[in-house]
Structure 1
Amino acid sequence: MVRVLIADDERNIQKAYRSDIQDAADRYSLAGTASRCDDAVVFADSAGVDLILMDINTPGEYNGLEACRLIKEKHPGIKIIITTSYTDLRAFDKARECGADSFWLKELSPENLVDIMDRTMKGESVYPDRNLDVMLGQARLSDLTAAEIDCLYKLIEYVSVKKMAEKMCVEESTVKTHLLHLCRKTGCDNKAELAILAANARLAIPDLHLMDVEDQG
């Protein structure tokens, strides 16, 4: 029997996960529920758990990625599935760096959670396709270039063209060109409208750019 820890601060998500575990009671049991990733780290140290469903954004000292790294360093045998409702492509790479076994998008994954759990417990590493079917106004995320997507992330995080250019290591004119192309593709009239569109699409996980996973530890 696989003992599952739910690490998520949303009550409705906790309820849905408990229901999934109950529906697969022949192979999964609920080990516990944590609303803070800090508590998940403590739980992994003190109680029997085989699999953790770890949300990225929870209150506390650690986010889900940081908690994943800490747990994997001490308990590499515990399987961890990172979960999120954001469509931030950068999170896939950061999750791998932290040692996450799999990654599940709550609202976009074509597979249900139990299928991902089953595959993960069998030793698979299951991550979403990077060509996500996400609409941004009149464009799909997959229609944008890598540079344009990076520009969108920087727009959400910094807003200022000068700061965006600095963080992207390009000229301000290059940033303005990317923004012009993005507005044309998405149907936005200006930078502000584009920023709101990207934020409403949950394109960027808050403060993900501050999570320098490789430098921690």
Structure 2
Amino acid sequence: MINVLLVEDTKMGRDCIAGYLRDSDRYVLSAAITNAAMAETVCLHTPIDLILMDYCTENDEDGIAAAAVIKRRMPHIKIIIITGMASTDLIDRARAAGADSFWYKETGDQELLAVMDRTMEGRSVYPDTTPVIRIGTARSTDLTPMQLSVLRLMVQGCSNPAIAKELHISVDDVKWHIKGLYDKTGYNSRVTLVGAVIKKDFIVPGL
């Protein structure tokens, strides 16, 4: 049997995935925790073959950051990042952290088990694209890479000068990109745009 560590901060999510594992004939749930920061300690004291690591866990602990630490110290442990968020940079961050695979929660139990099987066979399973999210009158795919970068920093609470410094562009360029965001989404203020983005889990503040 393959020993699984589940890192998931919601009871519904834990119960659902635990049910998938119980119904399988090849995986056993060795431990379930709510905080990604504790995952390394569990792996040091419990035989773990595979981690199902939620991205955003208890106390806003970042599952991708925790995965990077574990892969550096215990590269033999397979890690699948799981999330229900459509944040645009998660797939790239997960790859950079060394996570073996990536799964969106909404796709269903059989697909999760298939991703787990392929991961344990040594394959890396990543979606080709993120889910398309509607933000006001725009789809997430309508936004340019620079607009997404500006929007991400807006969500983090950065001022226009701070955004300009971070992205190495002028303040006037920042204002121009923000106007483009307003035009596409139909929102006319920073507060409403950022609030909508956060509500949709498209970009998560602080992570």
- Percentage of identical aligned residues: 34
Aligned to 1:30: 29
- AA at the equivalent of 2:71: K
The 3 A distance-change label for structure 1 pair 82 and 192 is same
Please state whether the residue corresponding to 1:112 is helix, strand or coil. Answer: helix
Aligned to 1:213: none
Question: For residues 92 and 70 of structure 2, what CA distance do their matches in structure 1 show?
Answer: 18
CA contact (8 A) 2:198 2:204 kept: no
Aligned to 2:38: 39
CA contact (8 A) 1:38 1:61 kept: no
Aligned to 1:19: 19
CA drift of 1:110 comes to 11
- AA at the equivalent of 1:151: V
Question: For residues 60 and 193 of structure 1, what CA distance do their matches in structure 2 show?
Answer: 26
The 3 A distance-change label for structure 1 pair 189 and 16 is same
Aligned to 2:8: 8
Q: TM-score, normalised by structure 1?
A: 0.86
CA drift of 1:60 comes to 5.9
Question: For residues 50 and 172 of structure 1, what CA distance do their matches in structure 2 show?
Answer: 49
For residues 88-123 of structure 1, the C-alpha deviation after alignment (integer angstroms, 9 at most, x for no partner) is 222222222221001122246897322221221122
Aligned to 1:215: none
The 3 A distance-change label for structure 1 pair 165 and 112 is same
Aligned to 2:75: 76
Q: How does 1:85-96 map to 2 (within 5 A)?
A: 85-96=84-95
The 3 A distance-change label for structure 1 pair 110 and 29 is closer
CA contact (8 A) 1:2 1:50 kept: yes
Question: For residues 49 and 9 of structure 2, what CA distance do their matches in structure 1 show?
Answer: 20
State which drifts further: 155-164 or 49-58: 155-164
- The unaligned stretches of length 5 or more in structure 2 are none
CA contact (8 A) 1:37 1:62 kept: yes
RMSD: 2.1
Question: For residues 110 and 17 of structure 1, what CA distance do their matches in structure 2 show?
Answer: 8
CA contact (8 A) 1:38 1:60 kept: no
Aligned to 1:168: 167
Aligned to 1:145: 144
CA drift of 1:183 comes to 1.1
CA contact (8 A) 2:198 2:205 kept: no
CA contact (8 A) 2:4 2:48 kept: yes
Aligned to 1:186: 185
Please state whether the residue corresponding to 1:207 is helix, strand or coil. Answer: coil
Question: For residues 125 and 7 of structure 2, what CA distance do their matches in structure 1 show?
Answer: 19
Residue 65 of structure 1 pairs with residue 57 of structure 2:
no
Question: For residues 12 and 142 of structure 1, what CA distance do their matches in structure 2 show?
Answer: 30
Question: For residues 48 and 22 of structure 1, what CA distance do their matches in structure 2 show?
Answer: 18
CA drift of 1:80 comes to 0.3
The 3 A distance-change label for structure 1 pair 193 and 38 is closer
For residues 120-148 of structure 1, the C-alpha deviation after alignment (integer angstroms, 9 at most, x for no partner) is 11222112223532111111111111111
- AA at the equivalent of 1:205: V
- The unaligned stretches of length 5 or more in structure 1 are 209-217
- AA at the equivalent of 1:91: L
